[in-house]
Amino acid sequence: MWSGNVKAAVNSLRTSKWRSLLTMLGIIIGVSSVVTIVSLGQGLKNQILGQINQLGSDVVTVRSGKIVNEDNGGGSSLNFLGLFSASTLSDADVTALKELPSAKAVVPMAFVTNSAKSGNSQLDNVFVIGTSPEMSQVLNQKVKYGEFFTQDSEDTNFAVIGPNIAHKIYGELNPVGQSIEVLGESFVIRGILSQSSGGLFSIAQTDFNSAVFIPFSHAKRLTDNRLNILQIVVRGQNPDNLDPTIEEVKKTLLSTHKGQENFSVLKQYELLSIASGVVNTITGFISGIAAISLLVGGIGIMNIMLVSVSERTREIGIRKALGATNRQILSQFLVEGMALSIGGGLIGIIASAVIYFGLRIYTDLQPVITLPVVALAVLVSVSLGIIFSVAPALKAARKDPIQALRGD
């Protein structure tokens, strides 16, 4: 019986190809959107977690704003507003932290948006990052060409640029030794960073690939000390015991902030937790919006199945007159509805696979499609087909054969 219903469902879809395709469109869009968004979220999470793991266990990150809320029971929760609060860190914090005996290196990350010029080429809205020579080592940012500026060259006009900046301004040429103008001053390019993952979703919330790095002292001078210091990375002397370093950092910052705890001091695992929480929340929210198209697709299947029942009233009457039971009519229309939803789901998965390869080839994003996500997409498609085909199938099964033959 089921094989006959499947054949009948396939034949029904073939006789009205365009109507079937338009009916499946909501399912196709919904499945492809959800699979793509979840795979992007997983890929971004992997990239960010990889960056954080590269920091090592001897690094403490100071972030502007109160990112983690602690309760009386010792638990903690993520404060999303703290992620986007105005900068509360200052040059005084950097100076004070450098005096700590437990701090092996202190790396400020000060951000300014400006244009980058070289010859006749200009890029607008470029991130200019004022930082210290230890930045490449502490954050494990590899230099592809040249080298990062050193302690000896910190007071000179040297700059390091991201690979995207190098490509957009200089093309395939190696720009080491060339001049680039940012913040109204000319800098000699000392090095080109290797391509880094994470992009705008990196732990620094900016894209190192599209940034210009200059010494922190120059950034202070060129901005009249109006720096937006988003984070300060502190490398401790003893990687086996960071607690003394954390306590010293908190105590020092409370002093410079006059008792206001408008900053966050985070260990590696806390950064991991925050990154996972942010990506999961954003992915879940956007996936929920995309899933609405699945609901719309299900309603579309129900509507077209109701139309199909009305159009095939005589067929139903003839089948019942020839001995078909209500159960057989019910299963026939259920299978047709499931065929529409499963077909839409499979096309949606194929579409998401095309998007997946396109993103990996043509962008810096590295989405990850997992088997559970694909299996869930198929399960949802089958479920939608059953749920939204029940009403039309029951309507068809309950038709009186005499009325059905007479009504057409």
- Chain segment 211-244, per-residue pLDDT in tens: 999 999 888 888 877 777 888 988 888 777 788 8
Q: What is the pLDDT of residue 353?
A: 93
**AA identity, residue 39:** S
Going 183 to 188 to 191 to 195, the CA torsion angle's sign is positive
Q: What is the pLDDT of residue 265?
A: 85
Q: Which residue, 138, 112, 111, is CA-closest to 233?
A: 138
- Chain segment 343-399, per-residue pLDDT in tens: 899 999 999 999 999 988 887 778 888 888 889 888 888 888 889 989 998 998 888
Q: Which residue, 147, 241, 256, is CA-closest to 192?
A: 147
Region 174-191 average pLDDT:
93
Domain range summary for the chain, segments of one domain joined by +: 2-48+277-407, 86-261
Q: What is the pLDDT of residue 347?
A: 92
Statement: residue 203 has pLDDT above 70: no
Region 300-313 average pLDDT:
87
In sequence order, which ranges of 191-267 are alpha helices (DSSP H)? 216-222, 243-256
Most confident region among 140-154, 209-223, 260-274 by mean pLDDT: 209-223
Q: Count Cβ atoms below 10 Å from residue 306 Cβ, excluding itself.
A: 16
CA–CA distances in Å: residue 42 to residues 24, 49, 231, 270, 293:
27, 10, 25, 18, 22
Region 320-332 average pLDDT:
84
Q: Residue 139, class by beta-carbon neighbours within 10 Å (0-12 exposed, 13-18 middle, 19+ buried)?
A: buried
Percent of the chain residues topping a pLDDT of 70: 86
Structural contact between residues 253 and 99, judged by C-beta atoms closer than 8 angstroms: no
- Residue 319 C-beta-side C-alpha neighbours within 13 Å: 19
Statement: residue 200 has pLDDT above 50: no
Q: Which residue, 278, 213, 214, 223, is CA-closest to 63?
A: 278
CA–CA distances in Å: residue 366 to residues 30, 56, 358, 369, 387:
21, 23, 10, 10, 35
Q: What is the pLDDT of residue 152?
A: 76
Helix (H, G, I), strand (E, B) or coil at 12: helix
Q: What is the pLDDT of residue 146?
A: 92
DSSP-assigned letter for residue 145:
E
How far is it, in rounded angstroms, from Cα 146 to Cα 84? Answer: 35
How far is it, in rounded angstroms, from Cα 302 to Cα 297? Answer: 9
Statement: residue 123 has pLDDT above 80: yes
Statement: residue 199 has pLDDT above 50: no
- Chain segment 15-47, per-residue pLDDT in tens: 677 777 888 888 899 899 989 998 988 888 787
